[in-house]
Chain A
Amino acid sequence: MKISEVPAEEFLLPGNAACHGCGSSMCLRTVLKALGKNTVLVVPASCTSVYQGMFPGSAIDVPVFNTVFAASASTASGIRASLEMKGIDATVVVWAGDGGTYDIGLQALSAAAERNEDMIYICYNNEMYSNTGVQRSGATPYGAWTTTTQGGKKEHRKDVAELMVSHEIPYVATASAGYLTDLYRKVRKAKRKSGFRYVEILTPCPPGWKFPASRTVEIGRLAVKSGMWILYEYEDGEFRLTGVSRAIAEGKREMADVEDYLLSQGRFSHLSRNDLEKIREHVRNRWMKIEKIVGGVHATPAEFYV
């Protein structure tokens, strides 16, 4: 689909307080266009709770309920229950960062998924606690600088999208700020389904990742092209790669070296050659695992069989 086919109506209004080049607000704008006006957004403490603006104004033109950090999935469950009891047809959507999803909000997320609550949970993942000034989260990748991992994070990140797949919910998808039409299509698909749906978007953050604000889309694409972020869908028990990730797996496209992606960001500027190799190995292992899940149908570059 072409970006010109995305509807023109805006639900994220100009004058919001997001940074230049903010991956999150760019994706929220696309997501809201995909959802339309009969949407309730539940927002926990996060960058969005700040950039939506200060009372008495708001930059989001659908009903929004701001809630506490740990409780977005449960607050949304209550809203969904109320709408159901009143016979009101609307989409309940959580829009949370990786902090409110991977860490403090994980318990409530898992429980809502297990109950198969009828909602879409969207995690915009900038791989750290951006709102409070760039501290590490469970989504922060190995080697990344944050204010609480100033020598580079020593642990690899966990993967909540994969965790959601293991909850066997109706729909799980990953997306990237680099590919907005892919994101739009996935959210439209999620909207048509019912039960618990999870979408996780990689949203690069210029101040946190330390790159010029004009390169957000480019970095969102490099993440996928280098294999560090994988685009996939898990739908009714079936797992498939999408977009550039699919092209890589099918051998139609060469995977870029992770160095291109990592060294474009100041947060990785101090990585040693050893760190780089560790990261390459991590990417390789993830792809081998993904290949097995997908069934090895697609041809792969020879280096994955080392």
Chain B
Amino acid sequence: MSSGVMVTGNQAAAFAARDSGVEVVAAYPITPSTPVIEEIARMVERGEMRSRLILTESEHSALAACIGASASGSRTFTATSSHGLAYMHELLHYATNARTPVVMAVANRAIGPGWNIWADLSDAMSQRDTGWMQLYCSSNQEIYDTILMAYRVAEDEGVLLPAMVCYDGFVLSHTAMPVKLGAEDFLGEYSSQWELNFDEPTTFGNILSPDYYMELRRDLFESHRRAIEVMRRTEKEFEEFTGRYTPLLAERYMLEDARTAIVATGAIASEVKIAVNRLRKDGNRVGLLRVKAFRPFPSGLIADALSEVERVVVIDRSVSPGTGGQLFSEVKSALYDSKTLPQVVSRIAGLGGRDVTFKAIEKAVDDVFRSEWVMEVVW
């Protein structure tokens, strides 16, 4: 294994795609994920990455090309953000129903208008019904590790679902952190369910009547359920291979004797750890449950992790207008059947890249600062 290198989140994603042995990359630039494609282009031209790179004219076409390549038996990759992800929308559904295990890096960014290019999870959150697995990273190491593991999970014959590996735009995508690479032998060569057979040709995706469609959807629903177990297994396999543990489902931090749990994801969750440390120093029994897999949503694990707390504060870096934070919604839902019903409150923070400091988190968590919307940047 190599020692760490200082790389940005985008670079970590690009190196992960390379070390995953992807055969086809089709992509279109958009801030803040553009450098992923630039790095891949550089590596392909230098012969460091054995892939065909298709520079399409749009994100919709990029994902279409990935789906075509995946359905022909190739491991494929793409990267996008915000409007680009939105432009792919119909094909996100398509990749899922087609059971093409594409993996995509998403550098999360707000959606306009106005033209806000900064960190916000609304882009990926608003695609949560497309059937893609969704994993939210809190560090660059995690981006590298998660992309590799995502292929293992996605390609599992009991799963066969596409996956998006998400990370906060600029905060992670453009910030350099030490990352250990060197996992290029973790995934073997891709032995796909899909291949083009000219002697026994098949037609893929023609008209499907009401007599068959529901079974297709039920199967992929069950695949999401199976994916949770596959993720657990993959975490262990990756740890055995690299010597480091990177969660795929969730991470508990100081939850053991906590009375208050903060539930968060992405870069904000990293910041929460600092807030937890400081709050603990002041005698508060507080802990963090970092949700990593948002789809499938590991309800059982989350309800279990929160079973001993009295109060749960869920921080969302996105909002579903008309209801509220998406993570908040899902957590509350997961707790509905639990034996102990803690108080669950919502906090909306960091939209459009507004900075979320540990001080703001401390204020948001304590009983004095009751507003749902954390608008202040607290230095």
Contact = CB atoms under 8 A, between A and B. Distances in A.
B67 A75 contact: yes
Contacts of B208: 54-55
A77 B61 CA distance: 9
Interface string A43-85: 0000001101111101011111111101101111111011111
B65 A85 contact: no
A52 B26 CA distance: 29
B68 to A, nearest CB: 3
B197 interface: yes
Nearest to A40: B196
A54 B61 CA distance: 26
Given A75-B67, A81-B24, A86-B74, A62 B198 contact: yes
Interface string B65-101: 1111111111010000000000000110010000000
Interface string B206-226: 111100100000000000000
Contact of A78 (B57, B67, B94, B199): B67
A99 B335 CA distance: 49
A82 B73 contact: yes
A83 B73 CA distance: 9
B212 to A, nearest CB: 6
B206 A111 contact: no
Given A67-B64, A111-B56, A52 B69 contact: no
A71 B64 CA distance: 6
Interface in A89-113: 90, 107-108, 110-111
A38 interface: yes
B99 to A, nearest CB: 13
A74 B69 contact: no
Contact of A81 (B54, B60, B197, B201): B54
B233 interface: no
A65 B68 contact: yes
Interface string A108-148: 10110001000000000000000000000000000000000
Contacts of B94: 67-68
26 contacts: A39-B198, A40-B196, A53-B206, A56-B212, A58-B203, A60-B201, A62-B201, A63-B196, A63-B202, A63-B204, A64-B206, A65-B204, A67-B205, A71-B61, A71-B91, A78-B54, A78-B66, A78-B72, A81-B23, A81-B24, A81-B52, A81-B54, A85-B23, A85-B51, A86-B72, A90-B196
Given A54-B208, A66-B204, A75-B65, A81 B74 contact: yes
A306 interface: no
Contacts of A78: 24, 26, 54, 64-70, 72, 76
* Max chain A Cβ within 10 angstroms of own Cβ: one of B64, B69, B70, B203: B203
B62 interface: yes
Contacts of A164: none
B55 interface: yes
A70 B87 CA distance: 12
B58 interface: yes
In order of increasing CB-CB distance, the 10 nearest A-B pairs are: A78-B68, A78-B65, A111-B57, A74-B61, A71-B64, A58-B203, A82-B72, A66-B205, A78-B69, A75-B68
Interface of A: 37-40, 42, 49-50, 52-56, 58, 60-68, 70-71, 73-79, 81-86, 88, 90, 107-108, 110-111, 115
Interface of B: 23-24, 26, 51-52, 54-58, 60-62, 64-74, 76, 90-91, 94, 196-199, 201-209, 212
A50 B207 CA distance: 7
Secondary structure at the B interface, as helix, strand, loop or mixed, is mixed
Contacts of A81: 23-24, 26, 52, 54, 65, 69, 74
A50 B206 CA distance: 7
Given A75-B68, A108-B57, A111-B57, A49 B206 contact: yes
A61 B233 CA distance: 41
A186 B199 CA distance: 25
B197 A63 contact: yes
B206 A77 contact: no
Contact of A111 (B61, B67, B201): B61
A149 to B, nearest CB: 27
A58 B66 CA distance: 24
Contact of A82 (B23, B55, B60, B62): B23
B68 A79 contact: yes
Given A86-B72, A88-B196, A111-B58, 11 more contacts: A37-B201, A39-B198, A49-B207, A55-B206, A66-B205, A67-B205, A73-B61, A78-B54, A85-B51, A85-B52, A110-B57
Nearest to A11: B201
Given A55-B209, A85-B24, A108-B57, A64 B68 contact: no
A71 B74 contact: no
A49 B207 CA distance: 7
A82 B68 contact: yes
A74 B64 contact: yes
A15 B62 CA distance: 36
Contacts of A68: 64, 90-91, 94
A70 B68 contact: no
B84 to A, nearest CB: 14
Nearest to B196: A63
A253 B363 CA distance: 88
Contacts of A42: 68
A65 B68 CA distance: 8
Contacts of A74: 26, 56, 60-62, 64-65, 68
A67 B24 CA distance: 18
B203 A37 contact: no
Contacts of B212: 55-56
Contacts of A76: 68
Contacts of A60: 201, 203
Contacts of B207: 49-50, 53-55
A75 B64 contact: yes
